[in-house]
């Protein structure tokens, strides 16, 4: 584990943001001061829902989890769940099982090799390690129970963990996977997890008048990275699942120009029937709300051009260059504008 941590610490997959890692570490410490000094947080740039707490004290949080969580209570529940695995030594139990099978060295070597191959290799490595730590269903149930207790003790509403799992369920259903993910294969069913979390939250005395979500603090902590995480989400090209994620984000931030821009990007990239009209509407809304990246004008202009609306296309591309004077594609866009102006005047 120390070898793997050494690779991850210097890996291109690590999001080297001391403020964000410090924020996640603070949540860990709020959950349990007793283990605070023993744990080290690494945020890994992987656009999937996952986190892990390793037996040597390494805590790995994937950016896909941070994108999907709506508030600090949801993140705290996941970290509390992973702390349950850590405290009950589930990782060591799992490693002993694999060692008895003679496969431990192969797992570790593959993980280390993958971590040196750039982003694709890091993803492979991360999945190998996740498979290495595929706990059994009873261990997952035990960790859920401990997660409820930790989040409750820290002052959070543990029922937010159930809300996060509802999002994961909706995403999985939208994707219509023929095979479960490596995580779902060994975890209890999502419906069971949601029911268990809510039941145990009631048993430990959570009252409707006591919710603590810390949403504003959470959104402030991740805000500078959300656009990058959304780009990574769309690069997966799992558009049905990404649509669920975007709908969840828009429900919490309906007036975000940035989010409406990425909704337009999803329509454009998915290329389903009527996508141009949907993307144009989303881009225009993003511009009207403000806060969208300059690229919103470029993509809008190119779609207008595809639709034969040359004048509107030229105006949008000029707005792009005005919004981003140092655009790396300036010469290409200027040539497009000249071509459009000729078409309009002819």
Same domain for 71 and 158? yes
Same domain for 208 and 98? yes
pLDDT beneath 50: ranges in the chain:
116-124, 179-180, 182-183, 185-186
Same domain for 128 and 258? no
pLDDT given for residue 70 in this prediction: 96
pLDDT given for residue 206 in this prediction: 65
Same domain for 195 and 244? no
pTM: 0.85
Of the three residues 191, 213, 235, the one that is the final residue of a domain is 213
pLDDT given for residue 158 in this prediction: 87
Same domain for 231 and 209? no
pLDDT given for residue 86 in this prediction: 83
Same domain for 181 and 280? no
Of the three residues 194, 213, 232, the one that is the final residue of a domain is 213
H helices of 10-62, in order, are 18-31, 33-36
pLDDT given for residue 186 in this prediction: 47
Same domain for 76 and 127? yes
Using one digit for the tens of pLDDT, what is the confidence trace for 324-343?
999 999 999 999 999 999 99
Same domain for 154 and 288? no
Same domain for 207 and 239? no
Same domain for 197 and 308? no
Supply the CATH number for residue 242's domain.
1.25.40.10
Q: Is 141 exposed, middle or buried (0-12, 13-18, 19+ CB in 10 A)?
A: middle
pLDDT given for residue 182 in this prediction: 44
Same domain for 85 and 127? yes
Q: Is 227 exposed, middle or buried (0-12, 13-18, 19+ CB in 10 A)?
A: middle
**What tokens were used for 98?**
């694999």
Q: What is the total count of domains within the chain?
A: 2
Using one digit for the tens of pLDDT, what is the confidence trace for 175-232?
986 544 544 544 567 888 888 888 877 777 665 555 678 999 999 999 999 999 999 9
Of the three residues 186, 213, 240, the one that is the final residue of a domain is 213
Domain extent at residue 252 = 221-345
Angstrom distance (rounded) from CA 313 to CA 326 = 20
Same domain for 19 and 146? yes
Contact 149, 159 (CB under 8 A): no
**What tokens were used for 322?**
């005005």
What's phi and psi for 231, nearest 5 deg?
-60, -45
How many H-runs (helices) and E-runs (strands) does the chain carry? 19, 3
């Amino acid at each position: 584990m120390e070898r793997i941590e050494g690779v991850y610490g210097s890996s291109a997959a690590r999001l080297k943001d001391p403020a964000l890692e410090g924020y996640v570490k603070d949540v860990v410490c709020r959950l349990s001061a007793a283990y605070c000094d023993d744990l080290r947080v690494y945020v890994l740039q992987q656009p999937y829902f996952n986190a892990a707490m390793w037996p040597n004290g390494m805590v790995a949080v994937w950016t896909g989890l941070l994108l999907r969580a709506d508030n600090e209570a949801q993140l705290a529940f996941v970290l509390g769940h992973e702390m349950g695995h850590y405290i009950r030594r589930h990782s060591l139990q799992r490693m002993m099982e694999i060692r008895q099978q003679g496969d431990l060295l192969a797992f570790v070597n593959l993980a280390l090799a993958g971590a040196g191959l750039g982003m694709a290799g890091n993803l492979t490595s991360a999945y190998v390690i996740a498979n290495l730590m595929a706990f059994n269903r009873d261990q997952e149930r035990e960790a859920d129970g401990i997660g409820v207790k930790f989040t409750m003790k820290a002052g959070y509403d543990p029922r937010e963990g159930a809300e996060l799992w509802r999002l994961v369920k909706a995403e999985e259903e939208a994707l219509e996977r023929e095979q479960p993910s490596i995580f779902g294969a060994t975890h209890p069913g999502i419906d069971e997890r949601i029911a268990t979390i809510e039941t145990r939250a009631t048993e430990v005395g959570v009252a409707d008048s006591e919710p603590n979500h810390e949403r504003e603090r959470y959104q402030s902590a991740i805000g500078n990275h959300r656009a990058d995480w959304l780009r990574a989400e769309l690069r997966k090209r799992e558009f049905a699942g990404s649509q669920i994620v975007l709908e969840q984000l828009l429900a919490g931030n309906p007036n975000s120009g940035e989010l409406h821009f990425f909704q337009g990007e999803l329509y454009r990239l998915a290329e389903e029937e009527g996508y141009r009209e949907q993307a144009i509407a989303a881009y225009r809304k993003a511009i009207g709300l403000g806060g969208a990246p300059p690229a919103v004008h470029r993509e809008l202009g190119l779609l207008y051009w595809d639709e034969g609306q040359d004048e509107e296309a030229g105006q949008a591309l000029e707005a792009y260059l005005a919004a981003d004077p140092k655009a790396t594609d300036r010469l290409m866009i200027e040539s497009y504008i000249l071509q459009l102006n000729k078409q309009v005047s002819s």
